[in-house]
Amino acid sequence: MKNTLRLAFALLGWMAASAFAATPSKPNVLFIAVDDMNNDLGCYGSPIVKSPNIDRLAARGVKFERAYCQFPLCSPSRSSIMTGLRPDTTRVFNLQYHFRTGLPDVVTLPQMFTRNGYYAARVGKIYHYGNPGDIGTSGLDDPASWKEFFNPAGRDKTTLESDVINYTPQRGLGSAMVYLSDQAGRDEEHTDGKVATQAIELLEKHRNEPFFLAVGFYKPHTPYIAPKKYFDLYPIEKIEVPQIPADYTKTVPALALASTKPWPNFGVTHQQARECKQAYYAAISFVDAQIGRVVDALDRLGLRENTVIVFWSDHGYSLGTHGLWMKQSCFEDSARVPMIFAGPGIKAGMASPRLVEFVDVYPTLADLAGLTPPSNLAGVSLRPLLTKPDEPWDRPAFTQVQRGDFPGHSVRTPRWRYTEWDGGQQGVELYDEQNDPGEMKNLAADPKLAATIAELKSLVKKNWPERVTGGTVDVATKKAKKAKAKE
């Protein structure tokens, strides 16, 4: 009898210990952000991009195949993920307006952790910075979110900007077709190398207390500057940029292509676009190496079993598809983002095909840490998908952009992407993602799909029941003023 009791108590103790190991009472959070990185990564199926460290992170966690940002532009997207609110609530639609202007008491994601006894710090870019202009400053940061913050600046910012090859000199460096292969600099001398070094120092210093460490890398955002060895990974003869059919623009609303002017590819030649794409991929591999340094340090410090890692990019990025470059479109390659969760209680080496959104990140981390988030969050916890990635899931993903006075609203379902511009007055798009994943055939005028369009339109209307507002000025109000001025 005594032996049986001892065995029972031992079993209970083992079960309790195992449960603790799987779900720590106060798990750390390593929150890794990159700037302007699309899904051209090895773990997402790219046959050319070298991303061994991100791939390794995906192998130890759940990779979301269909994750979407709420607004494919830096500040709106970052404000959304950090508050757990959609852009119509934060009212951030540009790179100037700060969400605290209209929401002074909002509790951000790191604030929630701080209020529950965590050390919260930021290294590099988490909220919006002009990149590269604001490197070395706090940009449009939110000081209330952090106990400490660090703004590194490396040779890509301090010494190399004047040496870049710029094919669109009329544009600022942050939105230009511009690159440089650094012949002499070491990784640790570049801004992102310094971000990694500072993050490692903080991991070492705060390893014995619960932490929320946000590590924000600046690449692969333009200007595409990286050490030469990363350019050498991508022979130019292996780089291709899509050719656009001559009649492509006939069935696509003008606003859908308005993010790239002049269209296509900002007017650069095909060869120049190839060079920029090569440089973009070099920048991905460079920042991948810095991510590897941070994750390796986490493991070396014995923090792996007690730390949830979240990897994300603020939005996707077009590299010549549809003749577009960069972001601010409602197409898949701009709205879709790489996103990976890894850590205790999370299935390893799995991919989830379910549609998820950035607004889901906040409630998910609260759930994993056993914390109570604000009641007004727009998303839901992804925890069920972190243990069973193919769990039944019936939630669409919504993305929006702004074209002057005209909003673009897009909904993604497992089969379809539907986009309407200014409520449909400026055009409508429908793409069959199953049979046309490149989104090259707009089916919006197909009468056989009228029922599908009506269903998708109702989803858009449900998500955006009111007119979109642009920062502090309502778009409808601006239109009314213009109409009145013409009278």
Distance CA 215, CA 221 (A): 16
Residues 282, 415 share a domain: no
Residue 86 lies in a domain: yes
- Over the stretch 135-163, which tens digit does the pLDDT of each residue have? 999 999 999 999 999 999 999 999 999 99
Residue with the two structure tokens 């009472």: 25
Lowest mean pLDDT among 23-37, 280-294, 365-379: 23-37
Number of domains into which the chain is organized? 2
- Other Cβ atoms less than 10 A from the Cβ of 424: the count is 15
In SS3 terms, 112-147 reads as: HHHCCCCEEEEEECCCECCCCCCCCCCCECCHHHCC
Residue 6 lies in a domain: no
Residues 417, 306 share a domain: no
326 exposure class (CB count in 10 Å sphere: 0-12, 13-18, 19+) = buried
- Over the stretch 402-453, which tens digit does the pLDDT of each residue have? 999 999 999 999 999 999 999 999 999 999 999 999 999 999 999 999 999 9
From the list 43, 48, 61, the residue with the least C-alpha distance to 304 is: 61
Q: Which residue has the higher pLDDT, 471 or 450?
A: 450
**Do residues 78 and 333 lie in contact, with contact meaning Cβ atoms separated by under 8 Å?**
no
pLDDT, position 246? 86
Residues 344, 434 share a domain: no
Residue where one domain finishes, among candidates 348, 365, 387: 387
Residue where one domain finishes, among candidates 333, 354, 387: 387
- Other Cβ atoms less than 10 A from the Cβ of 209: the count is 11
Residue 314 lies in a domain: yes
Q: What CATH number does the domain containing 77 carry?
A: 3.40.720.10
Respond yes or no on whether the N-terminal peptide bond of residue 396 is cis (omega within 30° of 0): no
Residues 413, 349 share a domain: no
**Do residues 95 and 133 lie in contact, with contact meaning Cβ atoms separated by under 8 Å?**
no
* Residues contacting residue 316 through CB under 8 Å, at least 6 positions apart: 38, 39, 69, 72, 327, 332, 333, 334, 335, 336, 337
Strands 178-182 and 318-319: unpaired
Residue 130 lies in a domain: yes
Residue 1 lies in a domain: no
Positions marked catalytic? 74, 128
Residues 244, 184 share a domain: yes
- Other Cβ atoms less than 10 A from the Cβ of 85: the count is 25
Residues 432, 346 share a domain: no
Q: Write down the mean pLDDT value for the chain.
A: 93
Strands 397-403 and 416-421: unpaired
Residue 415 lies in a domain: yes
- Over the stretch 68-101, which tens digit does the pLDDT of each residue have? 999 999 999 999 999 999 999 999 999 999 999 9
Residues 435, 339 share a domain: no
pTM: 0.92
Residues 448, 380 share a domain: no
Q: What CATH number does the domain containing 431 carry?
A: 3.30.1120.10
Distance CA 107, CA 375 (A): 11
* Residues contacting residue 317 through CB under 8 Å, at least 6 positions apart: 36, 37, 38, 220, 280, 326, 327, 333, 334
The strand pairing partners of 336, in sequence order, are: 68
DSSP H or E stretch at residue 35: strand 28-35
From the list 326, 221, 314, the residue with the least C-alpha distance to 263 is: 326
Residues 379, 405 share a domain: no
**Do residues 187 and 193 lie in contact, with contact meaning Cβ atoms separated by under 8 Å?**
yes
| Residue 17 in this model has a pLDDT that exceeds 50 | no
Q: How far is CA 139 from CA 75, 80, 143, 149, 176, in A?
A: 11, 17, 11, 12, 20
Residues 183, 94 share a domain: yes
Please tell me what DSSP assigns to residue 81: H
Residue 12 lies in a domain: no
Residues 340, 430 share a domain: no
Residue 7 lies in a domain: no
Q: Which residue has the higher pLDDT, 478 or 368?
A: 368
Residues spanned by the domain of 121 = 26-387
Residue where one domain finishes, among candidates 360, 387, 414: 387
Question: Taking residues 6-29, what's their average pLDDT?
Answer: 55
Residues 178, 35 share a domain: yes
Q: Which residue has the higher pLDDT, 212 or 15?
A: 212
